[in-house]
Amino acid sequence: MKKAVQFGAGNIGRGFTGQLFSESGFEVVFVDVAADLVSLINERRSYPIRLAQRDPQTIIVQNVRAINGLDIAAVTDGIRTADIICTAVGVNVLSHIAPTIAAGIQSRCDTDVADPLNIIICENLQNMGPFLKGEVKKTLPEPCHAYLDDKIGFVESVVGRMVPVMSEDQKREDPLLVIVEPYKRLPIARSGIKGSFPRIAGIEPKDNFQAYVDRKLYTHNAGHAASAYFGYLKGYEYIYQAMADPQIETAVRVALAETGEALIKKHGLDPTEHQAHIDDLLARFANVALGDQVARVGGDPMRKLGSEDRLVGGAKLAMEQGIFPAVLCKAIAAALHFNPECDPSASKVHEIVVAKGVRGALAEISGLAVDSQITTEVVRQYDQVKLGFCKS
C-alpha cells in the first residue's frame, strides 16, 4: 500500500487531506505531538468525519495510524519510505517541523532512494513552498542539497474546505470526529511537483497557480468576510442567517462580481467557470448545517483589513484592473464597525477609528494613502453602511 505521511492530525489533516489520501488507497500516517490523539488513532486505526449538510452523512476514514512527532527516529523512517507528504500544522509550527522533515530527506539521500517525494503544503502563507524549502535546507547537510533540489517537490496548495467550530457536545461524542462541509477540492501548484504525481481524489494540479491563490483570497475569503461584517451590522449570529437576507446576499454577490472581473482580467480565468465558482461559494456560505458564526468569520479585523488581504487587497486589485470597487469599499466600511465582545483585534480597530478617524485608521491598518480613491469611498460609506444595514 502506498504511504502518505500527514504532519498535523487536526481539522485539515483529519478532516480533509487524510480523507483524500485514504480514499485514494494510501495508508495515512499522521504525525502529531498530541499524545492522546496519537494513541487513540493507533488504537482504532480509523476515525469519523461528518459532512455538514441537510442530511448529515458520516464517513469512516480507514487505513490510518499515527506517530508522535517527538519520536524523530520513527518520523524519519516514515519519511524515508513515504510516497507523499502533506503538512497542515499552521504557519507558526511549519518552521518547527522543518528539521524533522530534513532528517527524513537526509535518510532518503543517504540510502539512495531514487523516487522523487512531493510535499503538499496546506498552510495559510504566501510563497509557502520556498519558505518551507529554505527552512528544511537550514538543517539538511550540504551534501544532500543537490538531492533536495532534484528529488523533493515543495507543492503549494489552496485549501478551500470549510471546517466549522465544533460544539462541546460534538467533541464529547467522539474525540476523533471532525465536522466538515462536503466540498473537497484541493488545487495544487503543478510547477512544484517533482517526477510523476499520483492520482489522488480531490487533488487538482494546476498551471497558473497564482490565479487560484488570488481567487481563494479575493473570492472565498473576501466574500466570507463581507458576509460577516454586513451580518454583524444587522445583528445576525450565523453566516447562513446573513446569507438568507436578500440585502446582504446581493451585496456580497456584487462585491464578488467586482473582484471576479478583476481576476478574470488579470489571470485570464474563464468567466463562466468563475461565475459558477461564485454561485457555489454563496450556496456554501448559506449552508445551515455548517453553523459558522459571524463573530468567528469576521474575527481579527486588524489582519483581515491588511494591505494585501481579502478586502483591501481585493479593492486594490479591482482598481488596478480599472474597476471601481464600490461594494468592496462598503464591506471595508462595515469591517470598521465590527466590534463583538471578546475580540481584542476588533477592539483595537475601534480604538484606532475613534482616535484617528476613518482616514487615519485606514492609513495605519491598511496602508492606504489618506487621499486614495479607496479611502475616500470608505469614508463616504462609513456612516451610510451602518444606517443601510441597520439591525432589524
Per-residue pLDDT of the chain (392 residues; tens, 9 = 90+): 899 999 999 999 999 999 999 999 999 999 999 999 999 999 999 999 999 998 999 999 999 999 999 999 999 999 999 999 999 999 999 999 999 999 999 999 999 999 999 999 999 888 999 999 999 999 999 999 999 999 999 999 999 999 988 888 888 889 999 999 999 999 999 999 999 999 999 999 999 999 999 999 999 999 999 999 999 999 999 999 999 999 999 999 999 999 999 999 999 999 999 999 999 999 999 999 999 999 999 999 999 999 999 999 999 999 999 999 999 999 999 999 999 999 999 999 999 999 999 999 999 999 999 999 999 999 999 999 999 887 75
CATH 3.40.50.720 residue ranges of the chain are: 2-207
Q: With contact defined as beta carbons under 8 Å apart, do 138 and 107 qualify?
A: no
List CB contacts of 29: < 8 A, sequence separation 6 or more: 3, 4, 5, 6, 64, 65, 66, 67, 78, 82
**What is the reported pLDDT for 275?**
97
Domain 2-207, CATH class in plain words: alpha beta
Give the CATH number of domain 211-388; options: 1.10.1040.10, 1.10.357.10, 2.60.40.420, 3.40.190.80. 1.10.1040.10
- Dihedral angle at the C-alpha atoms of 221, 338, 305, 319, nearest 10 degrees? 80
Q: What is the pLDDT of residues 229-285, one digit of tens each?
A: 999 999 999 999 999 999 999 999 999 999 999 999 999 999 999 999 999 999 999
Calpha distance 244→45 (Å, rounded): 41
pLDDT for res 80: 97
Q: CB neighbours (10 Å) of residue 55?
A: 6
Return d(Cα 219, Cα 314) in angstroms, integer. Answer: 8
Residue 392's pLDDT is: 56
Q: What whole-number distance in Å separates Cα of residue 317 and Cα of residue 329?
A: 12
| Residue limits of CATH 1.10.1040.10 in the chain | 211-388
- At 155-172, the pLDDT tens digits run 999 999 999 888 888 888
Give the Cα separation of 294 and 59 in Å (integer): 28
Evaluated on CA atoms 335, 243, 212, 263, the torsion sign reads: negative
In angstroms, the CA 201 to CA 25 distance is 10
At 60 the pLDDT is 97
Residue 187 phi, psi dihedral angles, 5° rounding: -70, 140
pTM above 0.85, yes or no: yes
